[in-house]
Structure 1
Amino acid sequence: MEEEIKQGSGSGAEPGTLPEGTASEAEESKKGGSRSSSASFMSALEKSMESLSKTLATALEDRANVVMVRINDDALRHLDMLVEAEVTKSRSESAAFLISEGIRANEAFFARIEEITRQIAELREQLRQTMVTNE
């Protein structure tokens, strides 16, 4: 297109200028592309917000247990970010959300811990049985 501008695209326009109507067509094309990318951005944002809402709802359901925890300034800043962005309503909701997401992101790790602790419990039970039979 740059060469067309410099050469005048053969419609009698002076070199370095666009033929009549081309500038407005180019602007409309930019606006259309801009509208299209804005629409796709908004669509992606809506999907992201829906996903976040579902994740948050899952993380916050059945919260009957209370845990007190000390956190550093950086963690507190992140909790407050979620509240300020109105992703969560409180620091408590932010903490529950982040804990839930941390567990979900590390499912394989927790599955391995669960397996090992089950084996430890079985070994302890075997040890108790051995001690009872030896008495």
Structure 2
Amino acid sequence: MDVKELEKVSDFLLGEENTDYADYFIGKSYLSVLNTKEAVICNVTFEPGCRNNWHIHHGAGQMLICVGGHGWYQEIGKEPQLLKSGDVVYIAPEIKHWHGAVADEAFAHLALAVPVDGASNEWCEPVTDEEYKKLR
């Protein structure tokens, strides 16, 4: 997808291609760090069809605030949730989950986390194409 089109997905800065975490994504995403004081806030923009691997936030939760396009969020053992701008998702610590764009539209969310000593992310298996294609 053209970067100029991705910049229109939300009013937040698109940022750079998310190459540091590319191993944990299927498709291309972009990351813009908006704040690091007391709470880390990043704008994450997913190209259509892009999603991150299943993962777990150990020791601290995360909040997603959807700011553009449409996406998916799923916790292990639960049905996927379709997300739109204005939706807020709280992810408790130790919950295995994934999130990303719908197949035919870009998606952006703000990811918020409060730094906690000893907290970490565990990246797990990818969301397979077969699993992803079942989403409607």
TM over 0.5: no
TM-score normalised over the length of structure 2: 0.19
TM-score normalised over the length of structure 1: 0.19
The structure with the greater share of residues assigned to helix is 1
Whose RCO is larger (CA < 8 A, sep 6+)? 2
The structure with the greater share of residues assigned to strand is 2
Rg bigger for which structure?
Answer: 1
